[in-house]
């Protein structure tokens, strides 16, 4: 099955009001080219699920977010994401703020078709008090330690989503995706949780590439049946990192963060970098030579 699509056609499945999951982590391997195409579209009223970075910040800045399901939004070296911060401080978005691990459990529950996963994570904190929809349950089994009262558990609901957006190092047109970098984060869980998974790749390869690189097959984290569309987008994670191909663009993130303090900052950023399209974006950044030379981050 050939799943190769152009950017516009791949994102045509995203409609206003949908729930969209976004892979990556903070400023690391975010599907930013897919996000920029969403920003160019008239889609709005989205519910986002993300280990958030500039993906969340930009979609908030553009007014496309109805609700955000998150544990953090951060650019790491710029700890506080400027546009997410504005959206929260202006009370512009609904939120479901949960623990990082709870989010992983929600994705796993969605992937396995289970309505919830019981856990102690979140109990005793504002995750419970600020999310009244989160149910507390008792085990249907006898408690291991006999107590006067049974222990309570948080029933983390499945985080079902219409679409997941993910960026990988390499893919073939059939949807075999390789993440070569040190961490695939929760991308496999996103790919499995979503009804429809769109993957952009830095490098489109023939299937034979995998046959020639048997070790690379160990870094394929989901089956091609979980991938619905492949979009060939070299440097599609920029300004986030795609380790080992390139690091995140600290100078660009600083420019982006500074725009949030300027009048019409977002509008100017959008017009300068996003509106003209992806080819213009890469030209503006300086092309392959500049992005490939971005140093890998040291944590």
Partner 1 sequence: MTDYNQSNPLADLVICACAQAWQGDGEVLATGIGVIQRLAASLAMVENPDLMMTDSEAYIVSEPVPLGARHGYEPKRETWMGFSRIFANVWAGQRHALVGPSQIDQYGQANISALGDYVQPKVQMLGVRGFPGNSISHANSFFVPVHSKRAFVPNEVDTVCSIGYNSARLPQGMSLDDIDIRLIVTDLCVMDFEPSSKQMRLRSTHPGVLVQEVLDNTSFELLTDEVVETPAPTAEQLATIARLDPNNLRQKAVTAR
What span, in angstroms and rounded, lies between the C-alpha atoms of 229 and 204?
13
Can you state the angle between helices 250-259 and 54-61, rounded to 10 degrees? 30
Collapsed DSSP state (helix, strand, coil) of residue 7: helix
Collapsed DSSP state (helix, strand, coil) of residue 260: coil
Q: Is 79 in the site for partner 1 (CB under 8 A)?
A: yes
Task: Decide: 66 and 47 in contact? Cβ < 8 Å.
Answer: yes
Residue number, 14 or 59, with CB nearest to partner 1: 59
What span, in angstroms and rounded, lies between the C-alpha atoms of 50 and 248?
18
CB of 188 to partner 1, least distance (A): 8
Q: How far is CA 264 from CA 36, 55, 83, 232, 269, in A?
A: 18, 19, 12, 32, 9
Residues 279-298 that bind partner 1 (CB under 8 A): 298
Binding track over 25-64 against partner 1, x by CB under 8 A: x--------------------------x------------
Q: Of residues 59, 117, 185, 239, which one binds partner 1 by CB under 8 A?
A: 185
CB of 133 to partner 1, least distance (A): 15
Please, what is the end-to-end C-alpha distance for the chain in angstroms? 40
CB of 271 to partner 1, least distance (A): 26
Q: Is 104 in the site for partner 1 (CB under 8 A)?
A: yes
Which residues of this chain interact with partner 1, rule CB under 8 A? Answer: 25, 52, 70-74, 79-80, 84-85, 88-91, 97-102, 104, 119-127, 129-130, 136, 143, 147, 149-152, 182-186, 189, 298-299
């Amino acid at each position: 099955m050939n799943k190769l699509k152009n950017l516009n056609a791949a994102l045509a499945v995203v409609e206003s009001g949908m729930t969209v999951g976004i892979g990556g982590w903070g400023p690391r391997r975010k599907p930013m080219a897919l996000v920029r195409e969403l920003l160019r579209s008239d889609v709005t009223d989205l519910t986002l699920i993300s280990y958030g970075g500039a993906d969340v910040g930009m979609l908030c800045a553009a007014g496309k977010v109805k609700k955000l399901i998150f544990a953090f939004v951060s650019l790491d070296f710029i700890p506080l994401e400027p546009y997410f911060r504005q959206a929260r401080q202006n009370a512009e978005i609904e939120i479901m703020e949960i623990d990082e691990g709870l989010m992983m459990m929600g994705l796993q529950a969605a992937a396995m078709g289970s309505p919830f996963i019981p856990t102690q994570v979140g109990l005793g904190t504002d995750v419970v008090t600020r999310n009244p929809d989160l149910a507390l349950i008792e085990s249907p089994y006898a408690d291991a330690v006999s107590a006067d009262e049974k222990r309570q558990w948080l029933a983390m609901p499945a985080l079902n989503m219409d679409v997941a957006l993910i960026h990988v190092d390499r893919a073939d047109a059939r949807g075999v995706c390789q993440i070569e970098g040190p961490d695939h984060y929760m991308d496999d869980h996103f790919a499995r949780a979503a009804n429809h998974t769109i993957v952009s790749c830095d490098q489109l390869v023939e299937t034979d590439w995998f046959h020639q690189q048997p070790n690379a097959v160990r870094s394929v984290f989901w089956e091609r049946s979980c991938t619905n569309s492949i979009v060939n987008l070299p440097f599609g994670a920029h300004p986030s990192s795609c380790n080992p191909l390139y690091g995140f663009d600290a100078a660009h993130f600083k420019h982006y963060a500074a725009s949030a303090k300027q009048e019409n900052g977002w509008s100017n950023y959008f017009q300068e970098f996003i509106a003209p399209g992806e080819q213009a974006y890469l030209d503006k950044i300086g092309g392959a030579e500049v992005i490939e030379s971005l140093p890998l981050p040291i944590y």
